[in-house]
Amino acid sequence: MPGAPAQMPGITRASQIMLGVIALAHAVIAVLYGVALGQWDETMAEAGVTGDSEAEAIADLGKGVVVFFLGLATVFAILGLVLLLQYAKGGNGVRVCSIVYGSFAIVTGIFMIAAYGIGLIIIAISILVIVFSAKRASAEWFRRPRY
């Protein structure tokens, strides 16, 4: 194709970098959940939850929710890293997956909005990843012929 770019356009490179920032943010969120999980039993003991079976059941349910969010943040960090590494040689599927990943990252940002403002940063960067990945220059980059 004569119109295919020879090197990655700047807007696509910016999308790749922002995708890395989102993946790093998910890794940080996973660490925060891990720290919370490590301190969970001590915190419940200080709150006086021990001894009452109903209170312990509710505390265990809360612990399960934290474990679920820890796993989810870890999976999102790994998926972001995989997408990040595929930008140089990947096809149009990488671009589409980046748009979908950015959409799910917005949901993550909404859940993390109370955590030191990290949610707002994730939301803003995710919107930029979606917009930059949807641009024509990015589409041309991912649809270029590979020999």
* 56: its two tokens: 């312990």
For the chain, 147 residues long, give each residue's pLDDT as a single digit of tens: 556 567 888 999 999 999 999 999 999 989 988 998 888 778 777 777 676 777 777 777 888 888 998 999 999 999 999 999 998 888 889 999 999 999 999 998 898 887 778 889 899 999 999 999 999 989 888 888 876
Please state the pTM of the whole predicted model. Answer: 0.83
Q: Which of 26, 13, 12 is nearest to 105 (CA)?
A: 26
Q: How far apart are CA 17 and CA 41, in angstroms?
A: 38
Under DSSP, the state recorded for 115 is T
> What radius of gyration, in Å, describes the C-alpha atoms of the chain?
20
Domain ranges of the chain: 11-142
Task: Locate 40 and state its tokens.
Answer: 């969970």
Contact 102, 83 (CB under 8 A): no
| Residues 94 and 142 sit within 8 Å (Cβ to Cβ) | yes
Residue 130 contacts residue 19 (beta carbons within 8 Å)? no
* Joined tokens for residue 49: 């939850």
- Measuring CA to CA, which residue among 30, 7, 133, 123 is closest to residue 78? 30
Strands (E), the chain: none
**Quick count: other Cβ atoms within 10 Å of Cβ 6?**
5
pLDDT confidence of residue 41: 76
